Amino acid sequence: MPRLAQPLSDSQIKRAKAQTKLVKLFDGHGLYLEIHPSGGKFWRFRYRKADGKETTIGFGPYPEVSLVEARNKRTAARRVLLEGGDPLQQREQMRRESVRATEYTFRKVATEWHQLKEKAWSPAYAHNVLHRLELDIFPDLGRLPIDEVTHRDLIDVFRKIEARGAHEIAKRNKAVCSQIFSYAIQTGVAQRNLVVDMKDVLQPVPSGNFPAISSDELPRFLQALRSNEACMQPLTRIGLRLLMLVFVRTSELIETPWTEIEEGKSEWIIPWYRMKLGKRRLNPIKKDHFVPLSRQSLQLLGDLRKLTGGGRFLFPNLRDRNRPMSNNAFLKALERMGYKGDMSGHGFRALAMSTIKEKLGYRHEVVDRQLAHVEKNKVTRAYDRAEFIDERRVMMQAWADYIDSLS
């Protein structure tokens, strides 16, 4: 019968001196202390794996790891063995998880996701998504390991956004976080998409499109516009009038270079790469947009040319003329007119669509083409190439005359 090792004592370990060869002091049940010729003392635990082979695992140096601590580590390792595990493999797994926790933070995973997705986004949209993350999400969640983020962490972030009245931004950030967690699960660094469970944590936001007045409200709007024009900057006044007459998207108007506008010519061609669907990185719609210009539109463009015709843009930024103006100028003007929350630059498109159909009697397809809407069904889009150019010319002049008649 093998002789059992006599348990070690602290005094025995302290008295032990280094020899010319490696010395081992055994404590029993596989635990022993190695004393190296250099004087270093290190705890080790010998055990037999499931395949019958012997191996050892280090528990650390003495006295940093005391005798009591080494015995506790031995007990924990023996418990792993009893459960059919391997202490060395378990330690490696814990090390990997620790590295993963510190390496795969929410910011790192979100940045990887953004870099992957931005290839299919327009530069402006990609910038906006990252800007919202940096402003609202990363300050609180960025440093946390993504697999340790809790429901409470997310709720606190979203509530902070809501507290400043940005309910729509909170909703969009919630959707973005859900996509980030989905990406994390697919790449193996998270186990669960917490956002999927969060059905009722945000305050309800009324659904709907961009604010827009109805056809019946147009006369009162025009009266308010006339009353406030004297207080507006010339570019803002002309811009609002043009938006109403041509009803292109706000960005398509304010980003227009003078090279697109031929003086005196009663049409304007917006190149496809400036259109909403042309800016897509994947499968852009490469179709220029035709805008007939009414007499009233030409008059406004003539007035505008006297102001900014020598520069790059129709509507330059007052601080940097090499950049277009901000669409906030139009929103602020509408706010001063008393239409905050009731009308927007984009709302002129909805106003034109409803009024031209209801009051002027034009077919939906004709107005829809002027709005540059594209048929979602690819097959239908391939066969439906009618542009109604002549009818659109007449319609745009009739629309401008109708506005004048209300004035």
Catalytic residues: 249, 276, 346, 349, 373, 383
Q: Which two tokens stand for residue 122?
A: 């327009």
* C-alpha to C-alpha distance for 198 and 150, rounded to whole angstroms: 11
Q: Which residues contact 401 (CB under 8 A, 6 or more apart)?
A: 294
* Other CB atoms within 10 Å distance of the CB of residue 9: 11
Q: Which residues contact 262 (CB under 8 A, 6 or more apart)?
A: none
Chain center to CA of 350: 27
* C-alpha to C-alpha distance for 281 and 115, rounded to whole angstroms: 13
Burial class of 43 by CB neighbour count within 10 A (0 to 12, 13 to 18, 19+)? buried
Instruction: Judge whether 67 and 13 are in contact, CB under 8 Å.
Output: yes
**In b/e form, how buried is each residue of 254-275, taking b as 16+ CB within 10 angstroms?**
bbbebeebeeeeeebebeeebb
Q: C-alpha dihedral over 359, 365, 370, 375, to 10 degrees?
A: 140
Q: Which residues contact 41 (CB under 8 A, 6 or more apart)?
A: 13, 16, 33, 34, 35, 61, 62, 63
Instruction: Judge whether 270 and 260 are in contact, CB under 8 Å.
Output: yes
* C-alpha to C-alpha distance for 58 and 36, rounded to whole angstroms: 14
Paired residues of 42 in beta bridges: 34, 61
Q: Work out whether the CA dihedral 352, 354, 355, 359 comes out positive or negative.
A: positive
- Counts for the chain of helices (H) and strands (E), in that order: 17, 6
